[in-house]
């Protein structure tokens, strides 16, 4: 069942495709950088970092966590597409900041009738969380020994600050 938003998106894509001019771009990012950040809709990664389409791999998930799937994506990014630097970007006012894991699992069970044992990645200290993700990636033996840095994006100001 399609929604009105789904139909709007298809219409916008038709408009976009009429003037599409990026067919010469390759899957390898021009800067050699892979960015791990949150799925939060307020973060416009390209604008905030001065990037354009094709400049970087941007890997997003809830909380910018160095999950198994992020590591898998980074392995593909490094081994097949040549990235040689990773930047982890957490952000202020993240939905997982201060969240209660048990309460979230309860909410899922209440709304779907299904229990889950997922770890959602709730955290209490934003800077510490970003540093932990950086250390997880630095310590991942399957990843290449390349620079891994951490930043916090402030949704209130658009500014970035280094934390790791």
Which CATH number do you get for residue 66?
Answer: 3.40.1050.10
Give domain status of residue 74, yes or no: yes
Residue bearing the bigger pLDDT, 149 or 1: 149
**Which pair of structure tokens corresponds to residue 52?**
């354009």
Contact 90, 63 (CB under 8 A): yes
The pLDDT value recorded for residue 86 is 98
Give domain status of residue 4, yes or no: no
Q: Number of folded domains in the chain?
A: 1
With H, G, I as helix, E, B as strand and everything else as coil, classify residue 71: helix
Residue 148: which domain range? 26-162
CA distance 92 to 94: 5
The pLDDT value recorded for residue 25 is 86
What is the per-residue pLDDT across 59-81, written as a single tens digit (0 to 9) for each? 999 999 999 999 999 999 999 99
Give domain status of residue 92, yes or no: yes
The pLDDT value recorded for residue 3 is 78
* 1 — pLDDT class (breaks 50, 70, 90): low
Strand order across the 56-61 sheet:
56-61, 33-38, 85-91, 148-153, 160-162
**Across residues 75-92, what is the average pLDDT?**
98
The pLDDT value recorded for residue 74 is 98
Give domain status of residue 17, yes or no: no
Are β-strands 160-162 and 85-91 bridged in parallel, bridged antiparallel, or unpaired? unpaired
Helices marked H in 19-100 — which ranges?
45-49, 68-81
Residue 87: DSSP 8-state: E
Lowest-pLDDT range, 16-30, 35-49, 82-96? 16-30
**Which pair of structure tokens corresponds to residue 91?**
């952000």
Residue 2, pLDDT > 80, answer: no
CB-count burial class (<10 Å; 0-12, 13-18, 19+) for 136: middle
The pLDDT value recorded for residue 28 is 94
pTM over 0.85: yes
**Which pair of structure tokens corresponds to residue 82?**
């040549």
Give domain status of residue 78, yes or no: yes
Considering the chain, what is the average pLDDT of its residues?
Answer: 96
Share of the chain above pLDDT 70, in %: 99
Our CA angle for 89, 93, 98, nearest 5°, is: 100
Give domain status of residue 19, yes or no: no
Q: Which helix (H) or strand (E) holds 15?
A: helix 4-18
CA distance 151 to 164: 7
Give domain status of residue 46, yes or no: yes
Give domain status of residue 12, yes or no: no
């Amino acid at each position: 069942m399609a929604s009105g938003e789904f139909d709007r998106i298809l219409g916008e894509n038709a408009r976009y495709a009429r003037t599409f001019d990026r067919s010469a771009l390759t899957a390898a990012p021009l800067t050699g950088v892979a960015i791990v950040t949150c799925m939060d809709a307020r973060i416009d990664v390209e604008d905030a970092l001065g990037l354009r389409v094709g400049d970087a791999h941007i890997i997003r998930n809830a909380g910018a966590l160095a999950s198994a799937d992020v590591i898998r994506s980074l392995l593909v990014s490094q081994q097949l597409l040549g990235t040689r630097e990773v930047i982890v970007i957490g952000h202020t006012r993240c939905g997982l900041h201060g969240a209660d894991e048990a309460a979230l699992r309860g909410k899922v069970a209440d709304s779907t009738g299904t229990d889950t044992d997922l770890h959602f990645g709730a955290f209490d200290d934003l800077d510490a969380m970003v540093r932990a993700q950086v250390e997880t990636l630095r310590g991942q033996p399957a990843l290449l020994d390349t620079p891994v840095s951490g930043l916090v994006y402030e949704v209130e100001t658009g500014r970035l600050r280094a934390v790791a």
